[in-house]
């Protein structure tokens, strides 16, 4: 079976990492969630998930992400990967999707874009969950509302699987993704 590059995209709190962990267990794919690149930089900047991320932090995050993409490109052919990200509806954000689509193409892998949505009230409730502090994730409901109001979410590409995680268990979302991708045996 050919490898797969999964791209789980959704707002903070939509369940990207949790779904990614379930999907990794189902498929054997390596999970490269966005906090692998964010957290070292956020730690260096003394951030805690409540303090706003300064613009000066993002160039460092992008450098780490490039290294992760390069590592995924150099990985053995049979290894599948799951990437997670929040992409705002801003100029240049769609390039991240194209970058992963290109990675899949170079590797001879299938590309599975997944767009996660969730009710804003539910997202705000999730901001306060204690496990979010473990990975320096956004934890301020008001910052979340401001982010979504000012930046929104990048619209999904036509081939994206769309999943509303407002009331769907992460394990069930992972099953939907794996079934759609033909990754269940």
| Helix, strand, coil % over all residues of the chain, rounded to 5 | 50, 15, 35
The 10s digit of each residue's pLDDT in 49-85 is 899 999 999 999 999 999 999 999 999 999 999 999 9
Q: What is the C-alpha to C-alpha distance for residues 182 and 109, in angstroms, rounded to an integer?
A: 13
CA distances from 5 to 19, 62, 66, 130, 153 (A): 15, 19, 16, 30, 21
Residue 15: predicted pLDDT: 97
Residue entry with tokens 């934890």: 139
Residue 100: predicted pLDDT: 97
Residue 185 has pLDDT above 60, yes or no: no
Average pLDDT over residues 92-121: 97
Q: pLDDT band at residue 135, thresholds of 50, 70 and 90?
A: confident
Is domain 4-180 given the CATH code 3.40.50.300 in the classification? Answer: yes
**Cα dihedral: 9, 10, 14, 20 (round 10):** 10
């Amino acid at each position: 079976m050919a490898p797969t590059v999964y791209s789980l995209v959704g707002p903070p709190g939509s369940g990207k990492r949790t779904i990614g962990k379930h999907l990794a267990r189902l498929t054997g794919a390596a999970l490269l969630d966005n906090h692998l690149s964010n957290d070292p930089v956020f730690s260096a900047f003394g951030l805690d998930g409540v303090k706003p991320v300064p613009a000066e932090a993002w160039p460092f995050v992008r450098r780490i992400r490039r290294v992760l993409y390069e590592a995924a490109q150099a990985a053995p052919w049979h290894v599948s990967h799951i990437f997670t990200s929040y992409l705002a509806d801003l100029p240049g954000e769609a390039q991240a999707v194209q970058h992963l689509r290109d990675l899949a193409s170079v590797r001879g892998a299938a590309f599975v874009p997944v767009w996660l949505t969730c009710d804003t009230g539910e997202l705000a409730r999730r901001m306060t969950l204690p496990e979010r502090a473990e990975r320096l994730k956004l934890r301020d409901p008001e910052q979340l509302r401001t982010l979504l109001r000012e930046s929104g979410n990048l619209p999904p590409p036509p081939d994206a699987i769309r999943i509303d995680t407002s009331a769907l268990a992460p394990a069930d979302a992972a099953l939907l993704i794996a079934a759609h991708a033909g990754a269940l045996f």
